[in-house]
Amino acid sequence: METRKEKRRLHFSVKVMIGLLLGIIAGIAFQWKPDIANTYIKPFGNLYLNAIKMLIVPLVFSSIVMGACGLGDVKKFGRIGLKTMAVYMVTTFFAAAIGVILANLANIGHGLELATGQAVEVSEAPNIIDTIINIIPGNPIKAMADGNMLQIIAFALFIGAGIVMVGKKAQPVMDFFDGFADIMYKITDVIMKFTPYAVFALICPTIASNGMDVLLPLLSFVLVVWFGFLIHLIFVYFTGIKVLVKMGPMKFIKAAWEAIVVSFTTCSSSATLPVTMECGRKLGISLPVRSFTLPLGATVNMDGGAIYQGITAVFVANLFGIHLTISQQIMIVATAVLASVGTAGVAGASIIMLGTVLSSVGLPLEGIAIVAGVDKLIDMPRTSINIIGDLMCSAFVARTEGELDMEAAEAEQGDGDGQL
């Protein structure tokens, strides 16, 4: 019985992988006529994305309320909240520092001609103080309608804490959210079955329209950023997984695989959240902890974004021949860490927050337009790095709280269709 189930599970992961590879191959084949891929293949991917997006607000809201309730008392919940934020910030600090150091070592951008004639469309970067003040929603219904994740999380935390404080009388409300969260998990489960096909339909038009032409002029920049992701993966994540989570890195990656592939193709931590939650379950992270830490991570923890912003800031300075002092570089790291909290888990969000990082040390915002052309190629692995970071931190917090079930993780390896 178990072996058959095991086979079916493996089969699902392999299917996701096949979807990705076939999508890449088809994308290369359609490069001569990307319109075909965009018109006939992309809509299927968008259908999946819409279905997943439909779940995000209700899923995040109900799962955070239940996460807060599940943690039992307000003190425990406050402690886990602080711990989670601290762990997220520390890994993001490493990420930004790796980015800045690597870009200096690679001396990236020196001797490169400035791209000319590109349309410079620089969007206003949100101010960090405003972002912090606006975490408390003036109107929670508007926050939900706008999909403002930080505000939704804050409201859900208040409701969860309120339920715990009120106790018995609030039991029916808690039961309602419990049932509601389960319904969201079930629908997610059904949508997940379409992942291999969606991955194909999403990656194919991306490759078809972002071919080598965009990549070549900024190749060295893209390569350094990719290398930065790799260094962070190996030195921060693999070490953290081994030393802090006490798990084999390959086992961890295997359990996180679907979230890695889905984030790679959707370029959105938020859209990947339902899959990330499923991977959290496979890693043995308890339901209350994963319901609380993972939606928070998808919203505030962007290590890939911090690496990217660190590298890009130094790259832009070099391109424009601006010398950055050590204190300016420290400022870049600090701003990138804070910007990570304000970066939405949607495609291309880091490039908007890049404005905050560049302006913190007076670098020209035109730099954004120069790197924008290759952002898609960076956003894909960047989002996967963001997701791996969320899962690692969540697993670590769970372990310190005695809420990580290693045996469940062992048993679940390779599962693709279980309960969240």
Residue 151 interacting with ligand ASP (CB under 6 A): no
Does position 348 interact with ligand ASP (CB under 6 A)? The reply is: yes
The footprint of ligand ASP on residues 53-112 (CB under 6 A) is none
Closest distance of CB 236 from ligand ASP, Å: 17
Give 303 or 415: the residue with its C-beta nearer to ligand ASP.
Answer: 303
Which residue from 346, 354, 357, 361 is in contact with ligand ASP, where contact means CB under 6 A? 346
Among 347, 397, 398, 404, contact with ligand ASP (rule: CB under 6 A): 347
Neighbours of 291 (CB within 10 A): 30
- Residues 245 to 304: which contact ligand ASP by CB under 6 A? 267-269, 302, 304
124 vs 407 by CB, closer to ligand ASP: 124
Which CB atom, from 262 or from 285, has the smaller least distance to ligand ASP? 262
Pick 347 or 361: Cβ nearer ligand ASP:
347
Q: Report how far apart, in Å, the C-alpha atoms of 236 and of each of 104, 243, 399 are.
A: 19, 10, 17
Contact 372, 221 (CB under 8 A): no
The C-alpha atoms of residue 381 and residue 313 are separated, in whole angstroms, by: 19
Residue 241 binds ligand ASP (CB under 6 A): no
Contacts (CB under 6 A) with ligand ASP, residues 297-336 = 302, 304-305
Which of 312, 343, 356, 360 binds ligand ASP (CB under 6 A)? It is 343
DSSP 169: G
Residue 162 in the binding site for ligand ASP (CB under 6 A): no
Contact 309, 278 (CB under 8 A): no
Closest C-alpha to 408, from 269, 285, 252, 307: 285
Using CA atoms in the order 138, 142, 146, 151, what is the torsion angle rounded to 10 degrees?
A: 40
Coil vs helix vs strand at 406: helix
> Contact region for ligand ASP (CB under 6 A) — 59-67, 244-252, 343-351, 357-365?
343-351
Q: How many residues of this chain interact with ligand ASP, rule: CB under 6 A?
A: 17
If we measure between CA atoms, which residue out of 331, 346, 411 comes closest to residue 383?
346
Query: Which residues between 379 and 398 bind ligand ASP (CB under 6 A)?
Result: 379, 382-383, 386
Q: How far apart are CA 41 and CA 205, in angstroms?
A: 7
Tokens for 365, please give them. Answer: 């915002």
H/E stretch holding 28:
helix 2-29
From CA 406, how far away is CA 420, in angstroms rounded? 16
Q: Return the range that interacts with ligand ASP (CB under 6 A); candidates 26-34, 145-153, 189-197, 338-346.
A: 338-346
Site of interaction with ligand ASP (CB under 6 A): 267-269, 302, 304-305, 343, 345-350, 379, 382-383, 386
